[in-house]
């Protein structure tokens, strides 16, 4: 148990690594992450830009508005009674996952120092956003669906609700849910109760927690977390520019893969070592190949791949034969469009530390057998 | 005009570079390729696995069969009369585009030595495949749409029609066309008349020419060009293995970018040089960033980007200030999911030379000004 845990994390796994006490931000040790295709809820990472807000389930309403013919204000009971229920297994990953690996190549001030733990996979249950938007009847000109929380985030001296948006075509794809259930249990407050929009294949920031409103509009959300934050700046910008438009607005997740076990700096017996981890393709693509190197990328061995699903990560494992001495293990993945991850951290470094998907590398020591 | 042009290429641009005389395979000089967002038809690359077949437009029928409730046999007149017409600008790219760059890292016998010219963008006109499949009423269990040509390809001593397939979800996406029109004119025989299926965002091989049949089925096409060819093998396999399943079945295009001008080994005046080319994201994604380096990747400059469309390439240009001496120019692109191309040819080399999308590099000589 970490001393600086906030009460918000009550019920979460005691070994979570707390990245920030308040608002609560924490992720699981990698050694615990890659054991199960579906992450147990107590190990699922927490990424909050605000303290967990309270609400009254009897008076809560979800507003559906903007460019719709028939604006809706739905109680939880109305949502349950009027729309079919569906379930989807989907991986959520924070755009800041793997940020710490970039710190060797330049400072990234003001952002949380996530390891490779800001990712998890759950079975989400709820109502398809498409069904609700169909009922509201989108008007011509609607191009984006903007989500607004009822939390209170504080950024640059202002306090306002967290928000973000996705293109309307994505919002109308069947896989986007208004979820009130996670891994077969009611969604916990820290994970977004009473309702969290789940946007599979997108950066976690678009899966807005504590959802108050969905508004269809011509352009993307004008919320700070869409217009200013979650922008990918070119590597030559050492500080975030005043003009956020110089950065790409993030949406679909990039291709990544991570070695979860052994851990960094592990001391391993010489001989055959089992290596395991996760890979995620993003945007509905699947991971089709994962390769491991124990010689700095000179040669590669194919990993065995677990279950493939468009919206979930793909777990993998491999057995490597390691000779005594220091070794660097590296992993890289290919997606179903034959893209491979970039090799060099310097290619992907950016001043906010988003979307690091360079080949994941860990140093280990292989000990001579007695 | 090349001496070894086949009569099939009559009407195509005289400067096309002929990669094979028969069946005809040819592409445009890069200096002519990147001038227009839509490629003039006479400059559009030709990739044929068989000689251009003849047909009688009065007796031609397109068969829609397999796992459908209502098999169809449609004349060209019936297609035109019974289904709405639509148009789409889409880039086609051969999976073998940029193969020659890989030859420095290992032999690739038996495949055409394409430069970066096996790509082109046209406005295709025809009937949406979705509309035709809706009329045929897909049955439960249909997961793939298999396309079969009425050509006669010869491979490994056997002669058979070219074929391939795409997942049914893609076939039912609105952007897949049964095209009989290219850039406002009737589709030419060499480009697939009377009908070519156009599968935007996928490798060109799936846009089957001289289309005879569409069959819905549970699995991918069993045609040689789906099961054996167009497989991406790992780099450690120096020859194609007997077991083709060791390679990834190709589908969506990977992210790529190419410098079209100046050309390789150009002699340039010192000072400001205009560099231009194309980039393609694949799979409906857009190219969101293109960067140029003139110092081997140590520093990068953002290119100006042309029009963005999900199914077409994105042209770009940049002005680089070059000092006298030899220089290597490199380009790399980012897609809308924050993926970047891999750096090293050794990462993407494979024994069939498919899907080379390493940073494109050209050597130039910058001459001192007098």
Rounded to whole angstroms, the Cα distance separating B29 from B39 reads: 12
Cβ distance B234 to A302 less than 8 Å, yes or no, reads yes
Total residue count of chain A as it appears in this document: 370
Rounded to whole angstroms, the Cα distance separating B139 from B127 reads: 21
Shortest distance between the Cα of A343 and any Cα of chain B, in A, equals: 7
> Does A62 have pLDDT greater than 60?
yes
Rounded to whole angstroms, the Cα distance separating A287 from A362 reads: 21
CB A139 within 8 A of CB A146: no
> Does B75 have pLDDT greater than 80?
yes
Cα–Cα nearest to A92, from A179, A155, A7: A179
Cβ distance B338 to A236 less than 8 Å, yes or no, reads no
The proportion of chain A whose per-residue pLDDT surpasses 70, expressed as a percent, equals: 98
Give chain A positions within 8 Å (CB) of B341.
Answer: 342
Give chain B positions within 8 Å (CB) of A348.
Answer: 340
Cβ distance B336 to A288 less than 8 Å, yes or no, reads no
Q: How many CA atoms lie within 13 A of B109 on its CB side?
A: 3
Q: Tokens at residue B237, please?
A: 């396999």
Per-residue confidence at B370, pLDDT binned at 50, 70, 90? low
Cβ distance A234 to B354 less than 8 Å, yes or no, reads no
Nearest to A340 among B299, B336, B342 (CB): B342
Q: Tokens at residue A273, please?
A: 């070592």
**Could you tell me which chain A residue has the CA closest to the CA of B344?**
A343
In our burial notation (b when 16+ CB lie closer than 10 A, e otherwise), range B173-201 reads bebbbbbbbbbeeebbbbbbbbbbbbbbb
Shortest distance between the Cα of B138 and any Cα of chain A, in A, equals: 19
Rounded to whole angstroms, the Cα distance separating B97 from B111 reads: 11
**A250 — contact with chain B (CB < 8 Å)?**
yes
Cα–Cα nearest to B55, from B209, B176, B197: B209
Beta bridge partners of A271: A322
Distant-in-sequence, close-in-space partners of A54: CB < 8 Å, separation ≥ 6: A189
CB A115 within 8 A of CB A100: yes
Predicted complex ipTM: 0.96
Query: How many other C-beta atoms are found inside a 10 Å radius of the C-beta of residue B31?
Result: 14
Instruction: Collapse the DSSP code of A101 into the 3-class scheme (helix H, G, I; strand E, B; otherwise coil) and give the result.
Output: helix
**B250 — contact with chain A (CB < 8 Å)?**
yes
Rounded to whole angstroms, the Cα distance separating A83 from A133 reads: 11
Q: What's residue A4's pLDDT?
A: 56
Instruction: Collapse the DSSP code of B242 into the 3-class scheme (helix H, G, I; strand E, B; otherwise coil) and give the result.
Output: coil
Rounded to whole angstroms, the Cα distance separating B223 from B205 reads: 12
Per-residue confidence at B170, pLDDT binned at 50, 70, 90? very high
Tens of pLDDT, residue by residue over B320-342, are 999 999 999 999 999 999 999 99
- Is the previous residue joined to A346 through a cis bond, with omega within 30 degrees of 0? no
Tens of pLDDT, residue by residue over A133-179, are 999 999 999 999 999 999 999 998 999 999 999 999 999 999 999 99
Average pLDDT, chain A: 96
Q: Return the residue in B337, B346, B358 with the most chain A beta carbons within 10 A, the one to mutate for interface testing.
A: B337
**B242 — contact with chain A (CB < 8 Å)?**
no
Nearest to B343 among A251, A299, A347 (CB): A347
Give chain A positions within 8 Å (CB) of B332.
Answer: 347
**Could you tell me which chain A residue has the CA closest to the CA of B249?**
A336
CB A235 within 8 A of CB B300: yes
Backbone conformation region of residue B188, classed left if phi is above 0, alpha if psi is from -120 to 50, else beta = beta
Cβ distance B289 to A252 less than 8 Å, yes or no, reads no
Chain-centroid distance, C-alpha A189: 18
């Amino acid at each position: 148990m970490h001393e600086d845990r906030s009460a918000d994390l009550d019920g979460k796994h005691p070994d979570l690594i707390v990245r920030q006490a308040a608002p609560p931000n924490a992720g699981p040790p990698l050694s615990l992450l890659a054991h199960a295709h579906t992450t147990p809820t107590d190990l699922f990472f927490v990424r909050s830009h605000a303290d967990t807000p309270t609400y009254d389930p009897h008076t809560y309403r979800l507003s559906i508005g903007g460019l719709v013919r028939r604006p809706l204000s739905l109680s939880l009971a109305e949502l349950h009674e009027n729309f079919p229920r569906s379930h989807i297994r989907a991986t959520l990953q924070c755009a800041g996952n793997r940020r710490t690996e970039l710190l060797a190549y330049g400072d990234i001030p003001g952002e949380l120092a996530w390891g490779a733990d800001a990712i998890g996979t759950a079975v989400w249950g709820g109502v398809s956003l498409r069904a609700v938007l169909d009922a509201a009847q989108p008007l011509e000109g609607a191009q984006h669906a903007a989500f607004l929380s009822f939390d209170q985030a504080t950024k640059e001296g202002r306090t306002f609700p967290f928000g973000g948006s996705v293109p309307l075509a994505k919002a109308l794809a069947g896989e986007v849910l208004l979820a009130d259930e996670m891994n077969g249990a009611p969604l916990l407050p820290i994970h977004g109760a009473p309702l969290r929009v789940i946007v599979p294949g997108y950066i976690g920031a678009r899966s807005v927690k504590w959802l108050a409103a969905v508004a269809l509009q011509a352009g993307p959300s004008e919320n700070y977390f869409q217009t200013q934050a979650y922008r990918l700046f070119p590597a030559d910008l050492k500080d975030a520019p005043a003009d956020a438009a110089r950065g790409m607005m993030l949406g679909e997740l990039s291709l990544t893969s991570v070695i979860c076990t052994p851990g960094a700096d592990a001391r391993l017996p010489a001989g055959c070592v089992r290596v395991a981890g996760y890979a995620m393709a993003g945007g509905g693509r699947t991971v089709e190949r994962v390769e491991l190197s124990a010689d700095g990328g000179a040669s590669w061995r194919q990993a065995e791949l677990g279950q493939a699903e468009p919206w979930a990560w793909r777990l993998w494992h491999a057995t490597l034969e390691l000779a005594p001495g220091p070794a660097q293990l590296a992993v890289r993945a290919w997606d179903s469009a034959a893209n491979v991850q970039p090799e060099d951290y310097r290619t992907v470094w950016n001043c906010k530390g988003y979307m690091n998907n360079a080949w994941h590398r860990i140093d280990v020591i292989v000990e001579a057998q007695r």
